[in-house]
């Protein structure tokens, strides 16, 4: 299962993904391009995107099976199939 995080800030938004390093038992967070997230979201039913709003500290989980209104509102029309 691919889990991505979309962080909404005052200046815009960006996507990140968490990677676990098995040798050092560390969690590494890396920025991901939006095109990569769109490709995986459209092709894989197991993809989950967690949208975090830094202003209100609220989070929402969105999957490909979520309501189309929520997908359009939080992710944009590019993510609709």
**Whose CA is closest to 4, among 58, 62, 55?**
62
pLDDT score, position 27: 86
What's the pLDDT tens digit per position in 53-74?
Answer: 989 999 999 999 999 999 999 9
**Is the predicted pLDDT of residue 23 greater than 90, yes or no?**
no
In the 8-state DSSP scheme, what is residue 81? Answer: -
Alpha helices in 8-67 (DSSP H): 34-43
Helix %, strand %, coil % for the chain, to 5? 25, 45, 30
Q: How confident is the model at residue 24 (pLDDT cuts 50, 70, 90)?
A: confident
Are the C-beta atoms of 53 and 8 separated by less than 8 Å? yes
* Domain ranges, ordered by start, for the chain: 3-79
**Is the predicted pLDDT of residue 44 greater than 90, yes or no?**
no
pTM: 0.85
């Amino acid at each position: 299962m691919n889990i991505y995080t979309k962080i909404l800030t005052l200046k815009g938004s960006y996507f990140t993904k968490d990677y676990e390093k098995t040798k050092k038992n560390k969690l590494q967070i890396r920025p991901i391009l939006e095109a990569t997230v769109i490709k995986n979201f459209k092709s894989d039913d197991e993809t989950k995107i967690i949208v975090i709003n830094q202003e209100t500290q609220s989070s929402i989980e969105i999957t490909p099976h979520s309501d189309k209104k929520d997908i359009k509102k939080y992710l944009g029309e590019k993510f609709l199939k």
